[in-house]
Amino acid sequence: MNKADLVYGMSLGAKMPVADAKRAIESAIDLINKALKRGDRITISGFGSFQVKRRAERVGRNARTGQSIRIPPKNAVVFTASEVLEKIVNPIK
């Protein structure tokens, strides 16, 4: 599923025009991006949470040459699924 599929599905599910659904999704994505940039944690009940974690500097290895390389520190966005989403994806049989 891509963004266009999400917009179309939301417009059908919410019985709203596609343009309104697109603006709503883009607004939600913009809010999430701004919150993550500030370092906030975003929790969506029944879905999961997003947060930024700092990855420390580390030493890696060039697969082609075997030479050690320095991998600089960086921020990474981490998603943790809620229990509800976990049960949907992994139903008990």
Q: Which structural domain range is residue 10 located in?
A: 1-39
Residue 76 within a domain: no
Residue 52 within a domain: no
CB atoms within 10 A of CB 65: 8
Residue 65 within a domain: no
Residue 88 within a domain: no
Q: How confident is the model at residue 16 (pLDDT cuts 50, 70, 90)?
A: very high
d(CA 46, CA 23): 23
Residue 2 within a domain: yes
Give the per-residue pLDDT at 82. Answer: 96
Give the per-residue pLDDT at 92. Answer: 84
